C-alpha cells in the first residue's frame, strides 16, 4: 500500500537555534521510502543521521534568527504483514532475546516499576499471548478519555493511569508501561497516520511477541495498516519530532497523509507486524 505523507513546520526564531528533526519516514523491512523531498527556508545546511538499530532518521540544522520553514514530503510503500493473533504467544523471560531487554525496563514516561501490582491485578490472570496486549489496549480505551490539552510534556503513564485523560502519546505510554510491568518488551513509535482527524503526528506502541514486534494503538483512531513509521524509541522522550536548542516558537504545523492505493487501509483485528 502506498502513501503520500508530509509535514510543514513554521518557526519563529529569536536567536540562532539548532534543530534536530525526526520527521522523515524510516526505511526498513516493511516500509520503503520511494521518493521524498525536503525543503528548508532559508536554505541552510542540514545533516542526516540514521540510528544504528531502529533506523530513526535525524535531521540536524542550525538556522539564523527569523523565520524557518521545513517542508517534508515522501511517497512510502508499506508492506505490513498481518498475522493470526491466536497464534502469537508472549515470550517468557528465559527465552526473550536479550537484545530487546532494554524495552522491559522503565523509562521517563513509562514507570512500569510503579505499575506492577496494578498490571497484575488487571491483567495477571489473562493468557500470556497477543490477546493480553489487546486486553491492555481495551482497558486503556475504556478507562482513559482522549482529550486534547489534558496532558503536557511532563505527563507520564503513572499520571495517566489515575488522571484518566490524555492524547495519543499518553495512550501509548500507558500501554507500554502495562506491558513492561508484565515483562512484555514494549516500545514507542511515532508516525504519520492515515485518516487521523485532525491531521497531526501520531503515536502508538509495539509489543514484542512471538518472534517480532507487533503494533498496537489503544486510541482506535486510525487503521494500523495506515501507520507510516517515523521513529522508534523507549518512549516519547526519544522521538520528539523536533528537539530545539535555542529559542524558537512553533507558529504552524501541518501534517498530511494520503493513500495512493485504491483500497485504503481498514480497521482490522489482525496482528500487524510493523517490522
Give the nearer residue to its own copies in terms of CB position, either 13 or 272.
13
Question: Is residue 52 a contact residue for its own copies (CB under 8 A)?
Answer: yes
- Measure the CA–CA gap between 49 and 256, rounded to whole angstroms: 24
Q: Is 15 in the site for its own copies (CB under 8 A)?
A: no
Question: Of 77 and 242, which CB lies nearer to its own copies in the complex structure?
Answer: 242
Q: Nearest-5° angle of CA 24, CA 28, CA 49?
A: 45
Q: Is 149 an interacting residue with respect to its own copies (CB under 8 A)?
A: no
Q: Which of residues 175-194 bind its own copies (CB under 8 A)?
A: 183
What's the rounded Cα separation, in Å, for the pair 247 and 210? 45
164 contributes a contact to its own copies by CB under 8 A:
yes
Residues 209-268 that bind its own copies (CB under 8 A): 234, 237-238, 243, 245
In eight-state DSSP terms, residue 211 is: T
Give how far Cα 5 sits from Cα of 46, 52, 73, 217, 264, Å: 21, 24, 6, 19, 14
Of 262, 275, 253, give the one whose Cα is nearest residue 79: 275
117/254 with CB nearer its own copies = 117
Residues 256 and 271: their CA atoms lie apart, in Å, by 26
Question: How many Å apart are CA 59 and CA 46, to the nearest integer?
Answer: 7
Provide, rounded to whole angstroms, the least separation between the CB of residue 153 and its own copies. Answer: 7
Binding to its own copies (CB under 8 A) within 53-82 occurs at 53, 58, 60, 62
φ, ψ (nearest 5 deg) of residue 86? -75, -10
In the region spanning residues 89 to 108, those forming contacts with its own copies, defined by CB under 8 A, are 92-94, 98-99, 101-102, 105-108
> Are β-strands 227-233 and 165-166 bridged in parallel, bridged antiparallel, or unpaired?
unpaired
The site for its own copies, by CB under 8 A, has a size of 44
Between residues 101 and 127, which has the closer beta carbon with respect to its own copies?
Answer: 101
- State the residues that interact with its own copies by CB under 8 A: 18, 20, 49, 51-53, 58, 60, 62, 92-94, 98-99, 101-102, 105-108, 110-111, 113-115, 117-118, 121, 143, 145, 153-154, 158, 161-165, 183, 234, 237-238, 243, 245
Amino acid at each position: 500500500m502506498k502513501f503520500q505523507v508530509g509535514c510543514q513546520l513554521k518557526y519563529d526564531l529569536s536567536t540562532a537555534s539548532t534543530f534536530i528533526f525526526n520527521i522523515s519516514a524510516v526505511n526498513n523491512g516493511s516500509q520503503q521510502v520511494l521518493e521524498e523531498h525536503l525543503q528548508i527556508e532559508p536554505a541552510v545546511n542540514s545533516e542526516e543521521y540514521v540510528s544504528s538499530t531502529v533506523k530513526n532518521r535525524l535531521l540536524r540544522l542550525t538556522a539564523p534568527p527569523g523565520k524557518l520553514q521545513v517542508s517534508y514530503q515522501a511517497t512510502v510503500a508499506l508492506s505490513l504483514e498481518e498475522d493470526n493473533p491466536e497464534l502469537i504467544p508472549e515470550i517468557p523471560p528465559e527465552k526473550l532475546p536479550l537484545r530487546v531487554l532494554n524495552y522491559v525496563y522503565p523509562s521517563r514516561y513509562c514507570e512500569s516499576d510503579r505499575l506492577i501490582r496494578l498490571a497484575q491485578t488487571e491483567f495477571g490472570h489473562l493468557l500470556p499471548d497477543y490477546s493480553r496486549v489487546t486486553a491492555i489496549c481495551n482497558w486503556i480505551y475504556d478507562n482513559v478519555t482522549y482529550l486534547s490539552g489534558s496532558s503536557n510534556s511532563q505527563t507520564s503513564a503513572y499520571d495517566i493511569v489515575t488522571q484518566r485523560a490524555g492524547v495519543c502519546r499518553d495512550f501509548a505510554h500507558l500501554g507500554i508501561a502495562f506491558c513492561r510491568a508484565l515483562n512484555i518488551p514494549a516500545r514507542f513509535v511515532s508516525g504519520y497516520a492515515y485518516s487521523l482527524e485532525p491531521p497531526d503526528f501520531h503515536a502508538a506502541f509495539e509489543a514484542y511477541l512471538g518472534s517480532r514486534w507487533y503494533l498496537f494503538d489503544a486510541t482506535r483512531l486510525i487503521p494500523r495498516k495506515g501507520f507510516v513509521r517515523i521513529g522508534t524509541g523507549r518512549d516519547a522522550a526519544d522521538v520528539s519530532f523536533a528537539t530545539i536548542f535555542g529559542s524558537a516558537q512553533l507558529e504552524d504545523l501541518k501534517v498530511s497523509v494520503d493513500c495512493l492505493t485504491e483500497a485504503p487501509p481498514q480497521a482490522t483485528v489482525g496482528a500487524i507486524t510493523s517490522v
